[in-house]
Amino acid sequence: MMPLIASLLHWFHQNSLSINSFLLSLLVFYFIFSGHEKALQSKRRELRSLPSPPRVPIIGNLHQLGSLAHRSLQSLSEKYGPLMLVHFGRIPTVIVSSPVAAQEVMKTQDLAFASRPKSSMADGLLYNSHDVSFSPYGEYWRQVRRICIVHLLGLRRVQSFQVVREEEVAVMIDNVRRAAASTQPVNLGKLPSTLTCDIICRVAFGRKYYEEEGGENCVRQMLGEFTALLGAFPMRDFIPWLGWVDWLRGLDARVRNTSKQIDCLIDKVIEDHLHDKSVGGDACKDGGNFVDILLSLDNDKDHSIGSTLGKDSIKALILNSLSINSFLLSLLVFYFIFSGHEKALQSKRRELRSLPSPPRVPIIGNLHQLGSLAHRSLQSLSEKYGPLMLVHFGRIPTVIVSSPVAAQEVMKTQDLAFASRPKSSMADGLLYNSHDVSFSPYGEYWRQVRRICIVHLLGLRRVQSFQVVREEEVAVMIDNVRRAAASTQPVNLGKLPSTLTCDIICRVAFGRKYYEEEGGENCVRQMLGEFTALLGAFPMRDFIPWLGWVDWLRGLDARVRNTSKQIDCLIDKVIEDHLHDKSVGGDACKDGGNFVDILLSLDNDKDHSIGSTLGKDSIKALILDMFAAGTETTYAVIEWVMAELVRHPIDMKRVQEEVRKVVGLKEKIEEELLDEMNYLKAVIKEALRLHPPIPLLVPRESIEDTKFQGYDIPAGTRVVINAWAIARDPGSWERAEEFWPDRFLNSSVDFKGQDFQFIPFGAGRRGCPGIGFAISTIELALANLLYHFDWELPDGMKEESLDMSESAGLTARKKLNLILVAKPRIL
């Protein structure tokens, strides 16, 4: 029999496809012996009719629980209903998410659902679950519950402790007053914790036991560890044959240590009360504390609880009352480590070791420290470890850059040394083995396709040649807004710019819109949305190759295949149509030719200077690059600008006055007028600073050993530049977190790659080649929206209540669509 290999499967974040969206930790890589689930087969057959999400062998649905289980389960219930069956390991569990079902559990059939499941944590910490919260239903539970209700927590008893509450609240207020007098900030995390701990200590014990137990913080830490352990995830409860994992990760030792500390404290409390009672008589009166009452009941042969409590029961009830106000459940991750998986990268890690780095977990590295918005998580880490730090994404060491100085060295001083891209399975699967200009590695091919993009597709002359397309499509957008305004319908400024940019890119790239054949405008947008979401996904095989099968399990491989097939069919049709048109009408490539015409013409031109024919895959990848990248980033910026302006009415009014003054009474805004709109340009820059379309620039990879900021960086090291963090760096920006367009009015700082405190489009060799195309569309669209309409939030909504949260993904769009009311300008 082979040794049992156990442990790692990925805890997926609720938005598992976003590079910035996932809370990552690993569960078990397993080899299954048949028969482990047989004991529960009968129960599962009976529960099978309940709606239930698909589960994974052994772990069940545990991979679908994020760090906030209540939110994860709510998301599942929205899909599978308010009453659903999930499997936590081998334990089938019914999740109730509706008032009606909750009433049936807690009222109509309260008795049928009155017991508690067995918990090894409660057994270890609460004297074999002898407390009132975790003990199973039965005679003992009824006995201790009656004690709590009648003797400890009844109305009369609660009122008797009024003086204690008032005295401790007065102490808290005095502490706040002293802090205010010395202009010190108040820690409202610690203050209520101290208050409740003091009140409960006096009510439960009769006094505070801080002095003997190492101080107030020591007692709080002990209680914090107690509640953390009660909310822990013990393997033996859900997958009993993996119970030894609890020993490996130190959970058993923590339970023993915490239980011992708490037991010593409660023993001392009981001894003190017994001593006081022997000296001064019965302490139990109306104002007696919980310990007095419980000891009195235990010694009272005539009380009505039926039998003596026993020391363990008294201790459990004291601990229950002590911790009840600090109980916070959280789910933790278990893992089992096999040595040797990291050996291939040891040499590189030795060279990088001197870089500041947060502690990492075996196998997953620092992935567990990435939230759904990775740029924010990495900014928080950089505040602690510095603007140049080393993190480990699985087995991949990655240097995170969060300062303008370091960014300049990567993108200018040593631009060539960091000019390549790391391999990406998503780009390979979606972009024809990374044959596009964004993801292809540095080399002769990349230089060739980049030159094509700059000279033939996105040069200044080519961008100007598409002016008519932009103006026509913006006019269509304005007509749509007018119709909505005339019918008093709000305008979806998440969808509207998306449609505009999609239409412009379709016409520029393909020569026309392909909506009719492809199932409509929404179908094309959804296909592009899935494409960009997958590019921002977190494929296991890229970071922990031997767990690549996880991508298949969670359906990522299938989604890549399906999306790639849909896009390939669309681009094949586009190319076929162009080849047919060319065969009928001659060479379609002229100054106004679209991207497909130009690429096909270059591929057939034996005398062009690109060195060799492109090939069909390269043409497809470049078409897709221009189409997808140009659409998503452009419309995201337009929506963010409008969202910031509606939150800042003074800036909105100011930019509208400028646009309307420059345009005058003209019905049409020509692109030549945009150069006179300095405040509009400042507003766009400020929105790009606060909301860069790609907050974490596409990763770079060093192509040679180099010295970087005093550190040795070996070839093949991944480098990620946090453009979002750099743009909010207080060392580079005054009022860094505020929307303040005036900062750009008398400033030469621009986004074209020379000012490294402001790099929303990157810089250097790997900078975005389509900046001119994107900005011309953004400026024209915004100028028209601001010229023709006044904008306000619907239904009397306040500016400060507008949700400005970001979506997770490669592109940081606004999470919720911006819905505004448009009022036509009266000339």
User: Which of 333, 331, 335, 375 is closest to 72 using CA atoms?
Assistant: 331
d(CA 595, CA 566): 20
Tokens (6 digits) for 699: 């990763």
What value, to the nearest 5°, has the Cα angle with vertex 469 and ends 669 and 693? Answer: 85
Helix 311-323 and helix 139-146, axial crossing angle in degrees, nearest 10: 60
At residue 401, the 3 state secondary structure works out as strand
Number of Cβ within 10 Å of residue 459's Cβ equals 15
Q: Is 768 annotated as ligand-binding?
A: yes
Q: Which residues contact 585 (CB under 8 A, 6 or more apart)?
A: none
Region for residue 433 given its phi and psi (left: phi exceeds 0; alpha: psi -120 to 50; beta: otherwise): left
- Tokens 């060479």 sit on residue: 587
d(CA 108, CA 560): 48
Tokens (6 digits) for 110: 């309260």
Region for residue 394 given its phi and psi (left: phi exceeds 0; alpha: psi -120 to 50; beta: otherwise): left
Tokens (6 digits) for 451: 């030159």
Helices (H), 281-394: 290-299, 311-323, 346-352, 374-385
d(CA 495, CA 639): 9
b/e code 131-152 from CB counts within 10 Å (16+ = b): bbbbbeeeebbebbeebbeebb
What one-character DSSP code corresponds to residue 55? -
Tokens (6 digits) for 33: 């012996």
SS3 percent helix, strand, coil of the chain, rounded to 5, is 55, 5, 40
Written as one string, the DSSP assignment of 660-691 is HHHHTT-SS--GGGGGG-HHHHHHHHHHHHHS
Whole-angstrom CA distances from 376 to 623, 696, 725, 751, 759 are: 32, 10, 8, 21, 17
d(CA 767, CA 763): 4
8 A C-beta contact, residue 544 and residue 538: no
d(CA 674, CA 793): 27
Q: Which residues contact 466 (CB under 8 A, 6 or more apart)?
A: 504, 508, 592, 773
> How buried is 362 (Cβ within 10 angstroms: 0-12 exposed, 13-18 middle, 19+ buried)?
middle
Number of Cβ within 10 Å of residue 500's Cβ equals 26
**How are beta strands 396-401 and 718-721 bridged, if at all?**
parallel
At residue 115, the 3 state secondary structure works out as coil
Q: How far is CA 294 from the centre of its chain?
A: 48
> How buried is 53 (Cβ within 10 angstroms: 0-12 exposed, 13-18 middle, 19+ buried)?
middle
Q: How far is CA 756 from the centre of its chain?
A: 26
At residue 139, the 3 state secondary structure works out as helix
Q: Which residues contact 376 (CB under 8 A, 6 or more apart)?
A: 724
8 A C-beta contact, residue 314 and residue 270: yes
Q: How many residues does the chain have?
A: 827
Point out the annotated binding site for heme.
768
Give the residue ranges of the annotated binding site: 768
